[in-house]
Amino acid sequence: MTDLDNGPAAHALAWLETLTDDPAMLPCGTSHRSVPAAEAIARVWPLRHRLGISRVADLTPLDVVGIPVFSVTRPNARTGQITLCQGKGNAPDEALASALFEALERHCGSLARPVLTAAPAELRARGRSHLGADDLGLAELPDDQPLEWIQGRDSGDGSAVLVPAAEVIFPYTAPPGCLRPVRPSTTGLASGATLSEAVLHALYEVVERDATSRYLHGGPGRLVPLDTITGPAESELLLKYAKAEIDTVVVDLTHTTVLPTFAVFLSDPGAHQAHLAVSGFGAHPNAGVALRRALTEAAQARATAIQGSREDLDRVADVYRADPAAQRSAFLHRALRARAEGVTDFRTLPDPPPRSTRAALRHVAAALEAGGYDRVVHTDLTIAELGLPVAHVVVPGMVDSVVEPLRSHRVAHQPVQA
Ligand SMILES: Nc1ncnc2c1ncn2[C@@H]1O[C@H](COP(=O)(O)OP(=O)(O)O)[C@@H](O)[C@H]1O
Ligand SMILES: [Mg+2]
């Protein structure tokens, strides 16, 4: 394992280091965080009415699996948003924190912000730094067509960088006469106890979606034999699925990206309901955490399907009516495809312990750089009166091609370093 504290001084997240007094990170089941889940809940709970939350529900008892899942309802969420936020974790307080902070993240990410309207050619003429077509994975960004821009920062040196508002704000509608260059989504949006922590978690999501969307479009992935997964927390989650007689496939995507990244697929042969065939994904510097994120997200997907209330379930309405046998064969096909591409012994993957926020920033910046991604642009979406950090992050070259298949990935196949 490398000594994280001796990283380079100038790196893609260096400016964030100057903002923080470097709080230590703690192990927190599905993440490393600077405050325990109970403390995080204590900070966000008093804001629940201002976030428009009308109900907080523990979904765990709805499913037989027993992995903690919570949901919070925001009935007045902006049109285009889902009114439910789900959260998951190894323990109930983590799952509740995840649901509440997702509500915070979605609230702050949906608010109208000051924008600059300009065509890329005008920005160039005025010397204003901005993201271009290549950064966004687009074939082109017409030079003379106006679009709305929002002020972000280069996370390496703090300099101003304009980012298309369509990339940052969700939901987003372009005003008449303005281009909407990308399909808006919440990929890259996250909250946290500090701005650095929010940026780190947004980065984990960007890495995860970039890698998993390539895999879901037919990219490579290796099977992880379950008997190589020996960490107590991951084993406990796997045991919960095994006891519920749910089959689990774990696909390793680590070799295709810059951090340990996994896709988990579940099949429930005992259930005569196709919608319980679900997936979950996770990326994190620590392989155990990344896998726990994917395993718990799959449980969240089951609970979401059982709850049946989330607006975006409309997109999978045909799955609800599908033949479970077809789902089962798709599951087996996926397992065999991954097996044919190779096998990862889980014990060989990096498992750095939580250290300080600064060490985490350096570790992630070094991993990005090793993969050929030398720049991170973040937009601080914190609402001062709420006082809890929210950020949106772009890693030029990384895209979520599930949201928009036409966006292209700038891929560097780099094995992660321990
Ligand atoms: N204990 C916590 N403290 C602060 N923020 C949290 C905590 N747990 C989760 N969050 C935030 O809540 C949102 C949802 O969390 P999670 O479900 O873990 O992430 P994801 O959306 O990547 O699957 C993210 O913005 C995450 O950073
Ligand atoms: Mg998220």
Pocket of ligand 1 contains residue 201 by CB under 6 Å: yes
CB 132 within 8 A of CB 122: no
Pocket of ligand 1 contains residue 87 by CB under 6 Å: yes
Q: Amino acid identity, residue 211?
A: A
Q: What are φ and ψ of residue 266, in 5° steps?
A: -115, 145
* Tokens 């608010």 belong to residue: 111
CB 16 within 8 A of CB 377: no
Ligand 1 pocket: which of 102, 187, 295, 378 to mutate (most atoms <8 Å of CB)?
102
Query: What is the mean pLDDT for each group of 10 consecutive residues in the chain (418 residues)?
Result: 53 92 91 96 98 97 97 90 93 98 97 96 98 97 98 98 98 97 97 96 98 95 98 97 97 97 93 82 98 98 89 74 81 92 97 94 96 97 97 98 94 62
Dist. CA 102 → ligand 2 center (Å): 7
Residue 81's pLDDT is what? 84
- Give the 3-state secondary structure of residue 70: strand
Q: Which atom of ligand 1 is nearest to the CA of 201?
A: 27
Pocket of ligand 1 contains residue 298 by CB under 6 Å: no
Task: State pTM to two decimals.
Answer: 0.95
Pocket of ligand 1 contains residue 191 by CB under 6 Å: yes
User: Which two structure tokens, joined as six digits, stand for 298?
Assistant: 């799959």
Q: Which atom of ligand 1 is nearest to the CA of 87?
A: 17
Residue 196's pLDDT is what? 96
What are the CA-CA distances from residue 144 to residues 11, 147, 332 (Å)?
Answer: 33, 10, 50
Q: Which atom of ligand 1 is nearest to the CA of 37?
A: 1
Residue 94's pLDDT is what? 97
Average of per-residue pLDDT values in the chain: 93
Residue 236's pLDDT is what? 97
Domain 207-348 class?
alpha beta
Phi-psi region of 227 (alpha: psi -120 to 50; beta: other; left: phi over 0): alpha
- Give the 3-state secondary structure of residue 177: coil
Residue 329's pLDDT is what? 87
Residue 275's pLDDT is what? 77
Cis previous bond, 142, omega within 30: no
User: pLDDT tens, 293-321?
Assistant: 999 999 999 999 998 888 777 777 776 77
CB 392 within 8 A of CB 189: yes
